[in-house]
Amino acid sequence: MFAINHAATALIIKKKFPGASIIWLLISVQFIELLWVVLNFLGIEKTTTDTVIQTVSNIHLLYMPFSHSVVMTLIFALTAWFVISKVLKKPILGIAVGVGILSHIILDLLTHTADIALTPFPESGKWGLGLYSIPLMGFIVETAYGIWCWWIYKGNRKLLMTIIIFNVINVSFFSAAIAGPETLLAGHPLIITALIFFQIAITLILVGLFSKNKQKTTLTSKTVKKKQVATNNI
């Protein structure tokens, strides 16, 4: 799943755990992707491409057993939960962050082809339902999911437009009929990694900023209503 829709997932977690900091939630939903970026740049994990890139299906996450394996994600989530809940004494935040970390691998399992390893060990098998093998369907599902997260959160218009715009920006990756920057990326996996990191950073900042604006608006509205009630009682 693309960066904007992972970021949107933090909104529904925030809705469930309103006391959890949106900053922590945004980091949690992209934690294993940020780890993937670092491991790709270090040469520990590997991404390849076909000789020509027309859609996301031509980009292959060839080797990522440490950042994206199911077992490692569970370990990361449980470790985050334990440290935040038991050591830092913030149990609600610990659960929310753990859910955020797990959400990433769940969404990737739904969208990726079979490139998600069960464990970091060789021959453990790879999973993925393969939505990206039907790129246009992938675009529709991803965009609808991002908007659904916004709707659940009851966000403001700026937040909705951010989700829609970033999904539209990525549309060329989902259609061979639409030429975009992906045509220049064949054989340059580290540039792809850098672009993904850039999208992660920008979408986390914007979703975090506009989600806070929504919270401030809600608080202001509640304050006004309380004042009105107090005035009427007088």
More confident residue, 230 or 158: 158
138, 174 contact by CB (below 8 A):
yes
Is residue 207 domain-resident?
yes
21 falls within a domain: yes
Matching residue, tokens 């077992």? 71
Q: Could you give the angle at the alpha carbon of 117 between the alpha carbons of 5 and 1, nearest 5°? A: 10
Residue 119 lies in a domain: yes
Q: Is residue 233 part of a domain?
A: no
Q: What is the pLDDT of residue 74?
A: 98
Mean pLDDT of 70-95: 97
What was the pLDDT predicted at 123?
77
pLDDT at 203 over 90: yes
pLDDT digits (tens, 9 = 90+) for 15-74: 999 999 999 999 999 999 999 999 999 999 999 999 999 999 999 999 999 999 999 999
Q: Give the distance between the most distant pair of CA atoms in the chain.
A: 75
Residue 226 counted as domain residue: no
Q: pLDDT by residue (tens digit) across 149-191?
A: 999 999 999 999 999 999 999 999 999 999 899 999 999 999 9
Coil, strand or helix: which one is 121? coil
Q: Which two tokens stand for residue 175?
A: 């259609």
Number of domains in the chain: 1
- Bigger pLDDT: 188 vs 213: 188
What is the identity of the amino acid at 23?
I
Segment 213-226 shows an average pLDDT of 52
In a domain, 39, yes or no: yes
Per-residue pLDDT tens digits for 102-155: 999 999 999 999 999 999 997 788 999 999 999 999 999 999 999 999 999 999
In a domain, 88, yes or no: yes
- Overall average pLDDT of the 222-233 stretch: 51
pLDDT for 232 equals 53
CA atoms of 122 and 130, how far apart (whole Å): 21
Global pTM reads: 0.89
Angle in degrees, CA 113, 119, 120, rounded to 5: 100
Report the amino acid identity of residue 209.
L
Average pLDDT over residues 69-88: 97
Rounded CA separation 11/18 (Å): 10
Q: Can you give the pLDDT at residue 224?
A: 47
Token pair listed for 182: 């992906």
Question: Is 225 part of a structural domain of the chain?
Answer: no
pLDDT at 214: 58
Average pLDDT over residues 72-95: 98
pLDDT at 225: 54
Domain that holds residue 29: 3-218
